Amino acid sequence: MRLFLLLILLLPSCAVFKSRDTRSALKIRREVAHSPVFSKAFTGFTLLDPANVKTLVDVNGDHYFTPASNTKIFTLATCLEVLGDSVPGVQYLYPDDAIVFRGTGDPTFLHPKFEVWQLARRLLYRPPVKLVYLHRHFDEGRFGAGWAWDDFNEEYQPERSPMPIYGNCFQVSGKPNNEFHVEPTFFLGFFRHWQIETQAKVKRMEENNNWILDTLADQEERIVPFRPLIKQFAAWDDTNPTTLLGDLLSDTLKRPITEFFPEDHPDIELSTYPWRTLYSTPLDTVLRRMMHQSDNFIAEQMLLVCAGVKFDLLQQDTMIKWMLDSTQMNLPQRPKWVDGSGLSRYNLMTPQSISQVLLKLWKEQPRERLFPLFPAGGVSGTIADRYAGKDGKPYVFAKTGGMSSVQCLSGYVVCNSGKVLIFSFMHNNFVGSSKAWKAEMQRLLEQIRDRF
């Protein structure tokens, strides 16, 4: 009898808590749906409680949006699904008289941000045998479908390749008295002519690896993409072409590199050979840079790495189709997913589907691993200047996505109650600065933090 009376007394308090969450959800929904900022464009929003897989708020959550770099959440999920604790760095054969090696798509080889993890360089540096680089079959193209062609000279859009080197970019920095420094120094010989102008820039000339270099201010730095796979012919020999990659490898390793082009030897079946794999950088180290700095190049290459591991093919489409037909087959709306980075405007995704990918990550990865992979509000990455929590403790862990007329933010919000909720904000088709959209999202996320 006493137990029965106790249950009767507890029921009203449970109803109060349930009612409070319901009222909070209705309040947030009204705020999103009638926001004077969001009403100037097209907005979608989903708020999900992963504890009971209940959708708390949904505004246009089943509508498709251009996700920009929110696409990297799908790439992150792919990497965690397919790869182990380290990135496959290079594959090689070791016959008696040579080391034959080929790329895996690994973006960290000789990359200046990953100098600590260069086992492949150690393997190739001054061995007592000949080095033969095998060019893999690569139909992906150096740019992805839907990328902006006029961004080919920008550091955020390096070209894709089977074996990237130095991040497929070189650095030019200004020094006193109009001097400059190029790293790697190999690229010094590629500047066609000089122009002295007041506005500093380094510009690649159309399709070729030729650049115009203007004067650079002291301490000013430019990061410039190059074409690693363009074929070059020596003036004295037009029968043995080399690529920029091969020449740069040779210059870096201080020894000759023989390049092998499979299309010139169709009778040789290389896939049957017992390739060994040398692993390079810890996976989470690479994924943190991809997510925190929203590194497009790393995202593109890591999707190729996954395809190589899963199918022995460096084909993004094959990898994407497998993900959508297997581990992500139950998404409420099937995304149109075309690249790893989100550079393409052909990508189309919904807040509901992104929330479901985040939910799957939440279920499969420990919080101690998952949250550090995302930028932390007020602390790190692309939201270091926003969403600062009380006493410096972040409450938002989320991936941004932005391009002209696009602003997205999807991830996890930690409420004052300790509850963790999943959210996806997607905004398309606004004109002008995204500052108002960022401020409005912060205002609403603060309300979510405080109300739930």
Tell me the two tokens of residue 438. 């960022």
Average pLDDT over every residue of 156-176: 91
Answer whether residue 150 is part of any domain.
no
- Say if residue 394 is preceded by a cis peptide, omega within 30 of 0: no
Q: Return the pLDDT at 406.
A: 97
Average pLDDT over every residue of 79-96: 94
Residues 299 and 393 both lie in one domain: yes
pTM score, two decimals? 0.91
Residues 317 and 430 both lie in one domain: yes
Residue 239 has pLDDT above 80, yes or no: no
Answer whether residue 312 is part of any domain.
yes
Answer whether residue 166 is part of any domain.
no
Average pLDDT over every residue of 125-140: 88
Answer whether residue 320 is part of any domain.
yes
Answer whether residue 280 is part of any domain.
no
Answer whether residue 20 is part of any domain.
no
Distance CA 428, CA 340 (A): 20
Distance CA 295, CA 287 (A): 9
E-strand stretches of 248-288: 258-260, 276-282
14 pLDDT band (50/70/90 cuts)? very low
| Domain C-terminal end among 205, 223, 241 | 223
Residue 19 has pLDDT above 80, yes or no: no
Burial class of 384 by CB neighbour count within 10 A (0 to 12, 13 to 18, 19+): middle
Residue 195 has pLDDT above 50, yes or no: no
Tell me the two tokens of residue 158. 């390096």
Q: Return the pLDDT at 354.
A: 98
Q: Return the pLDDT at 389.
A: 85
Q: Are strands 406-414 and 420-428 parallel, antiparallel or unpaired?
A: antiparallel
Residue 193 has pLDDT above 50, yes or no: no
Distance CA 423, CA 32 (A): 13
Q: Return the pLDDT at 270.
A: 67
Residues 314 and 404 both lie in one domain: yes
How far is residue 59 from each of residues 31, 32, 48, 62, 364, measured CA to CA in Å?
A: 10, 7, 12, 8, 27
Kindly state the helix (H) or strand (E) to which residue 400 belongs, with its residue range. strand 396-403
Average pLDDT over every residue of 48-73: 97
Radius of gyration of the chain from its Cα atoms, rounded to whole angstroms = 25
Distance CA 359, CA 187 (A): 46
Residues 439 and 292 both lie in one domain: yes
Residues 432 and 330 both lie in one domain: yes
Residues 292 and 405 both lie in one domain: yes
Q: Return the pLDDT at 447.
A: 97
Answer whether residue 400 is part of any domain.
yes
Answer whether residue 241 is part of any domain.
no
Average pLDDT over every residue of 235-263: 83
Q: Render pLDDT for 281-322 as a digit per residue (tens, 0 to 9).
A: 999 999 999 999 999 999 999 999 999 999 999 999 999 999
197 pLDDT band (50/70/90 cuts)? very low
Type of residue numbered 221: E
Which has the minimum average pLDDT: 140-144, 181-185, 270-274, 405-409? 270-274
141 pLDDT band (50/70/90 cuts)? confident
Average pLDDT over every residue of 103-131: 92
Residues 325 and 446 both lie in one domain: yes
Distance CA 275, CA 36 (A): 59
| Structural domain that includes position 208 | 171-223
Average pLDDT over every residue of 265-282: 83
Residues 199 and 296 both lie in one domain: no
Distance CA 107, CA 286 (A): 9
Q: Render pLDDT for 334-393 as a digit per residue (tens, 0 to 9).
A: 999 999 999 999 999 999 999 999 999 999 999 999 999 999 999 999 999 999 988 889
What is the domain-level CATH number for residue 314?
Answer: 3.40.710.10
8 Å CB contact between 352 and 410: no
Number of structural domains (the chain) is 2
231 pLDDT band (50/70/90 cuts)? confident
Which of 361, 366, 402 has the alpha carbon at shortest distance from 78? 361
Residue 39 has pLDDT above 70, yes or no: yes
The alpha carbon of residue 294 and the mean position of all alpha carbons in its chain are separated, in whole angstroms, by 6
Residue 191 has pLDDT above 90, yes or no: no
Q: Are strands 211-213 and 191-194 parallel, antiparallel or unpaired?
A: parallel
